[in-house]
A and B are shown apart, each in its own frame.
Chain A
Amino acid sequence: MVQLLHQLSSGLALGGVYAIMALALVMIYQATQLINFAQGEMAMFSTYLAWKMIDSGVSYWRAFAATVVISFFGGLLIERVVVRPFAKAPVLASVIVFIGLSFIFNALAGYFFGYSVQSFDSPFPGRPLFGVGYISAHELGTIFVSVVVLALVYAFFRFTSVGLAMRAAAQNPVSARLVGVRVGWMLAIGWGLAASIGAVAGMMAAPIVYLDPNMMGGVLLYAFAGAVLGGIDNPWGAAFGGFLVGVAENLMGAYVVGEEVKLSVALAIIVGVLVARPSGLFGRRIVARV
């Protein structure tokens, strides 16, 4: 029983990371109908920035805030410089550009920070809370942070005028432009936000999976699985899917398929969901007009 609770809680913590990563993916998907394959590497690079700052003596939360801000502008810049020229290109071209981006970030991280694995300290106190050890402080902190991120994103889209404009730009670009929304900039802000959210996911994942240029491969895959499971056009569905996948991954890994083939769970979820229910649990069914 203790074992099960422990698996559940660490599943929820990982699920929180997947949830915010999935949220970042959905952010870009909603605006452009594209899946950003470079999201993981972008998050990894942001995490390295945070690590570098902490390493040179900046306090954790200050580095955290700085990383989120830098990532925002980085994402904005990438959209403006790299992604924008391909706005009207076929899907294949966009996928290839994203793969290219992920190669570049991976190489940059290796170049600037080296390929050796680094440990990344958790900002939360080391000893388990509640004495018993069902849940470590980092796990609890990660769950907390991911819920805060979800709440902030919700509040941003619900209560701010920029959020409203972004929703308008995503839902109906032509009408939004007619009422004075600068649709292009809204897409860029979407990329910036996605990069910031991804950075948070990276910083939460790093104490668990350790820091190296390939750390986000598995995380990104599970985030994909979560987003697809919850419905890739529904942010809350995707976040819920992320939590679900985290828990499922841990329970399956511990009790059913074993640790070594956990990634296949994600593969099975992605293919299974896409075939059986392509719009996910909470997604809207898309009806295309010929």
Chain B
Amino acid sequence: MAPEDRLEIWVSRAGWTLAVVVALAAPLSMNGYHLYQATQVLIYMIALIGLNLLTGYNGQISLGHGAFFAIGGYGAAILSSRFGLPFWAAIPLASSVCFVAGFLFGFPALKLGGLYLALATFALAVAAPQILSYKGFDAWTGGAQGLQIVKLQAPAWTHLDPDQWIFVVALAAAALLVWVALNLVRGRIGRALVAIRDHGLAAETMGVDAALYKTTAFGVSALYAGVAGGLSAFAVGFVSPESFGLALSLAFLVGVVVGGLASVGGAIFGALFIEFVPNYADRLSMQFGESAKALPGAIYGLLLIAIMGIAPAGVAGLARALVRRASRLSL
């Protein structure tokens, strides 16, 4: 093993350890709104890892992951408010529904190369809020008003307040899903996904069942989005059609690109970015008036283009390059 590879592994381990330490310290040191934001970051991170499995590793562009996030959110909300299911049953059930939905959407996606898939998923993202507020589903979805659900209450023995508890739950889910994703991409499956992305025909010639991998990747990716959506429903205590629009789907894409395509750890940076940049701009707009509202859009846009031009592998890619350079200097 080359020394820079060894260094890279150590840096990556150190990074993950640091992330875990920070995450464990968060519920103790933060309060109310900040903790809520931290929970949001974890939730986005899960969704971004899912989208990255599909787009970054497998090369299938989805501009519509907000729709799967919505299925997870609404699914969890309906299961919990109408059927009284606890969160630990509602979220996995709702995300299984997402897996099936994603898997099924993966079949038409097989026939749609690159751009056409982007088009179809774009349409999905635009149509999702309308479908969610459709009157025929009012009895289930609460129509345009959305659906209120009871926030999670921590079990008595933990002595945690609801904000802390949902953070702990999200952290556990994120840890599990990061572990799963790392194992997926570092093994046979990951190599197959990347091979299909880089040269589908060559991958098939080598005996990779491209159709199966691609549809399953879509399903797993949707499952991640579904878990994130379900957690978000419990964290916010509310789901409504407007919160699952095109903006959310595009924010996911932004997060994946900023964090770094084909990188699991990059999702942390992507999630921090899409949680805090709009927030920061909102605060600025209080000082500078209405026009500062344009800030996140402008930053999103410029960064997307700049990253594609300068550092197509995002923050994760930059970090990797830095580590490599450092290891070469020290030798």
Contacts and interface: CB of A to CB of B under 8 A. Distances in A.
Interface in A76-104: 82, 85-86, 89, 91-93, 95-97, 99-104
Contacts of A91: 61, 114-115, 118
A110 B111 contact: no
A270 interface: yes
B61 to A, nearest CB: 6
B297 A106 contact: yes
Contacts of B116: 228, 274, 278
Contact of A260 (B135, B254, B298): B135
A124 B110 CA distance: 47
A101 B246 CA distance: 15
A34 interface: yes
A214 to B, nearest CB: 9
Contact of B59 (A92, A101, A218, A263): A92
Given A104-B298, A110-B294, A266-B123, A92 B305 contact: no
A255 interface: no
B108 A274 contact: yes
A261 interface: yes
Nearest to A114: B290
Given A107-B295, A110-B293, A278-B116, A264 B302 contact: no
A72 to B, nearest CB: 22
A82 B305 contact: yes
A60 to B, nearest CB: 28
Interface string A197-224: 0000000000000000000011001001
Contacts, number: 142
Chain A residues touching B, range = 35 or more
B135 A258 contact: yes
B187 interface: no
Chain A contact residues: over half helix, strand or loop, or mixed?
helix
Contacts of B112: 274-275, 278
A97 B304 CA distance: 6
Nearest to B105: A271
Contacts of B294: 107-108, 110-111
A221 B290 CA distance: 28
Given A34-B115, A103-B298, A111-B291, A261 B304 contact: no
B253 A99 contact: yes
Interface in A102-123: 102-108, 110-111, 114-115
A37 interface: yes
B122 A221 contact: yes
A260 B144 CA distance: 10
Interface in B283-331: 290-291, 293-298, 300-305, 308-309, 312
B279 interface: no
B309 A99 contact: no
A89 B123 CA distance: 24
B18 interface: no
8 contacts: A92-B114, A103-B298, A104-B302, A264-B127, A264-B130, A266-B126, A267-B123, A275-B111
List 7 A-B pairs, minimum CB-CB distance, nearest first.
Answer: A107-B297, A100-B304, A103-B301, A104-B301, A111-B294, A107-B298, A91-B114
Given A95-B115, A108-B298, 12 more contacts: A35-B115, A35-B119, A82-B305, A92-B114, A100-B300, A102-B301, A104-B302, A107-B296, A110-B297, A262-B130, A264-B131, A290-B201
Interface of A: 33-35, 37, 82, 85-86, 89, 91-93, 95-97, 99-108, 110-111, 114-115, 217-218, 221, 224-225, 228, 258, 260-264, 266-267, 270-271, 274-275, 278, 290
Interface of B: 55, 59, 61, 63, 108, 111-112, 114-116, 118-120, 122-124, 126-127, 130-131, 133-135, 201, 246, 250, 253-254, 257, 261, 290-291, 293-298, 300-305, 308-309, 312
